[in-house]
Amino acid sequence: MQQEIKLQSGHIKRIAPPLPRGERTRAKGQQTNSAMAGTPCLSRLLLLVGTILSLLMPTSHARACPPCGSTPVPYPLSTAAGCGDPAYKVRCAANSNSSTLFFDAVNGTSYPITSISPSAQRLVVSPAPFESPSACVSRGAPAARGVQLDPSLPFNVSSSNTIMLLNCTAALLQSPLNCSSASLCHAYANATAPACAPLPLCCTFVAGGSSTSYSIRVSPRFCSAYRSFVGLDPTQPPATWGSRLGLELQWATPREPLCRTQADCEEGANATCADDPSSPGTSTSRRCFCVPGLTWSPLAGACQQNPSDCQRTGDCGGSNHAPLIAGLVCGLGGALLVAAAALFAYRRQRRIRLARERLAKEREEILNANNSSGRTAKNFSGRELKRATGNFSHDNLLGSGGFGEVYKGVLGDGTVVAVKCAKLGNTKSTEQVLNEVRVLSQVNHRSLVRLLGCCVDLDQPLMVYEFIPNGTLADHLYGSMMSRPPLPWRRRLAVALHTAEGIAYLHFSAAPPIYHRDIKSSNILLDDRLDGKVSDFGLSRLAEPGISHVSTCAQGTLGYLDPEYYRNYQLTDKSDVYSFGVVLLELLTSKRAIDFTRGADDVNLAVHVQRAADQERLMDVVDPAIKDGATQLELDTMKALGFLALGCLEERRQNRPSMKEVAEEIEYIINIEAGGNAIHRSIRRFECENDA
């Protein structure tokens, strides 16, 4: 029996109709007992062969529209009333030489379709060009320069589009878009769009990605032109971005055709006109649903047969070649299984060997690369560190954070150490730990935590530090060690000085200079003498010789992050100065950098203290534990440190002092405080002697 194919508007095509009952009986009788009554293995093999042959059977596409010139029009796109799905309408415009597919938007603009991907349910259109080579204005009326889709149609903007809004006004600064000087649109305009360069203001964003993305707004009030790129790779040169020009639209998966009666569906037993249970509201629509055993194919626009159905029912007809096919399949299947197992074993052994070689090479690079100091970190084995930490027992856990966990350990020679572990499977955490090894292998200062060695034998890299027994500065100011006597004023000044000297060493003595990028009180450890040591170099960056800044995405901790670095992505030594200024305010006030228990305007400590200073109430925010009972000289030094901290928090980095100047100023304050106390003690001794 031949296949029956019909083409009707709005109907489902019928493919591979079932055999009549008499023919099914005769076909079943022709099958030999040896073919159907064999071993279970043979039955399964016959089922597999039938499935493969069914998949290889050609399927006609009666509902697809004819090509538009040389461009195929896949289902469900519709260029006429008799093909495709009418909801997915496109337009085929023919001229004397060729035909072109167009997508019509609701703002009266038509866009040529440059490519179609039926399997991904996406198409790419060419957006409107500029008015002229010398005008940075998209072609079309002011109200039609953007892209406006009909929300009732099944098309929307996909998330693969990078949109650049060009020739914009200051009104767009109120939006959350990336309109900074580092935006990609500036690089594009300067390289390939001379009519738009230099741009006073432009913005870049990724559009689409949801069913509500139906427009890209362009108007003289905000922006006069736009460009769209599909799958843009910003790491490539801007001169090559032109090959990605276009706007990608995606369409929703088409459902079964609508019908009023069974006559609207394909004749026969392939589809049934029935109520749609998912109809919204009280109005019930009807659709041509596939009968059991057939499945609706949105790609083909037809009810298609499950390839395994005929084998399961025995209605495929007999074949006296079944034993031969079964033997061939068994032989080929066995050979393929043996070959696959051998290949799997070989590739597994090869991966293990390459992984070991890579670990050894990485270990050598970590310990020796960029090491101008001549110091080398010891390479600890994983077994040694497991023994030292009690197999990373929870009882030895000192703390945890976004990077991973830190454990206390005792080496075989009795040395107490701290072992830092990256998070297992977290690539970013692993990169931070390895970066910390690279940085600490190049520095040596009494105010920086000393790296004893590292280990890359295990799944995640480990770092071994000297053990610092008295926790972090944050613990003493407002954390777990507040039950102890508060740090006296002189000790706080000493911690500030040690920290400033350590950071100044990174900026001025390390070669190349190092920007810490995460200075905060929880990264300042206190040793047995309560001296401060800077730790956690996971976010640190090496400065580039001859360049005033490092261009990088803003990273750090809220409350300590330099606002100028956050805005322009330019990391400098003054970014660490800003963070250290917040630490000085914490030493002075014993308050957190960010605290939502304070008033809405005082959540940020820097803003809170600056407002008090502007109102000449700086001493009101000082920690009562150090202010009460202090001499006038000590109160003056507290005020001096507060104004130094505010100097570090200047909005413009050019107005902030360097870390070397900050360290010298703190040392000067300490000398004044120490000298004043010595004079005060001499006067008291003289008064006591006279009284006697």
Residue 336 domain-assigned?
Answer: no
Report the CATH number at residue 442: 3.30.200.20
Same domain, 405 and 493: no
Same domain, 614 and 494: yes
Statement: residue 55 has pLDDT above 50: no
Same domain, 443 and 577: no
Residue 313 domain-assigned?
Answer: no
Q: Helix, strand, or coil here: 19? A: coil
**CA dist., res. 224 & res. 226, Å (int):** 7
Q: Which of 518, 531, 562, 623 is catalytic?
A: 518
Which has more pLDDT, 175 or 225?
A: 225
Statement: residue 187 has pLDDT above 80: yes
Contact 113, 246 (CB under 8 A): no
Please say which residue of 225, 251, 277 terminates a domain: 251
Contact 158, 248 (CB under 8 A): yes
Q: Mention every residue, 6+ apart, whose C-beta is less than 8 A from residue 470.
A: 476, 481, 525, 526, 527, 528, 530
Beta strands in 254-326 (DSSP E): 271-275, 286-290, 294-297, 302-305
Please say which residue of 445, 466, 487 terminates a domain: 466
Sheet strands side by side (includes 155-157): 91-94, 99-104, 110-117, 122-125, 247-251, 155-157
Residue 15 domain-assigned?
Answer: no
Same domain, 457 and 533: no
The pLDDT tens digits for 402-453 are 667 899 999 988 899 999 887 776 666 666 777 777 787 778 899 999 888 8
The pLDDT tens digits for 36-46 are 334 444 444 44
Our count of domains for the chain comes to 3
- Look up the domain containing 435 and give its range: 357-466
Question: ω before 17 within 30° of 0 (cis)?
Answer: no
The whole model's pTM is what?
0.49
Same domain, 408 and 517: no
How many CB atoms within 10 Å of residue 599?
A: 9
Residue 216 domain-assigned?
Answer: yes
The pLDDT assigned to 580 comes to 96
**CA dist., res. 564 & res. 548, Å (int):** 14
Residue 612 domain-assigned?
Answer: yes
- DSSP 8-state class, residue 596: T
Residue 579 domain-assigned?
Answer: yes
Same domain, 143 and 223: yes
The pLDDT tens digits for 454-477 are 887 777 778 898 999 898 999 999
**CA dist., res. 441 & res. 255, Å (int):** 63
212 pLDDT band, cuts 50/70/90, is very low
Same domain, 490 and 379: no
The pLDDT tens digits for 562-576 are 999 888 888 999 999
Cα–Cα separations (whole angstroms), residue 595 to 327, 391, 559, 580: 76, 37, 9, 18
Tokens of 255: 């459902």
Contacts by residues 52-60 (CB-CB < 8 Å, ≥ 24 positions apart): 54/305, 54/307, 54/308, 54/310, 55/307, 57/16, 59/15, 59/300, 59/302, 59/304, 60/3, 60/5, 60/13, 60/15
Residue 197 domain-assigned?
Answer: yes
Residue 315 domain-assigned?
Answer: no
The pLDDT tens digits for 249-285 are 999 988 888 888 888 776 456 888 888 888 776 677 8
Q: What is the dihedral of CA 558, 564, 569, 570, to 10 degrees?
A: -120
Same domain, 372 and 244: no
Same domain, 203 and 152: yes
420 among annotated binding-site residues: yes
Same domain, 513 and 655: yes
**CA dist., res. 585 & res. 609, Å (int):** 8
Report the CATH number at residue 649: 1.10.510.10
Q: Helix, strand, or coil here: 426? A: coil
Produce one character per residue of 69-79: b if its CB has 16 or more CB atoms within 10 Å, e if not: eeeebbbbbbb
Same domain, 503 and 650: yes
Q: Which among 159-173, 470-484, 617-631 has the top mean pLDDT?
A: 617-631
Q: Are strands 451-455 and 416-422 parallel, antiparallel or unpaired?
A: unpaired
Same domain, 552 and 411: no
Catalytic residue check, 104? no
The label of the residue with tokens 């590292």 reads 454
Please say which residue of 444, 466, 488 terminates a domain: 466
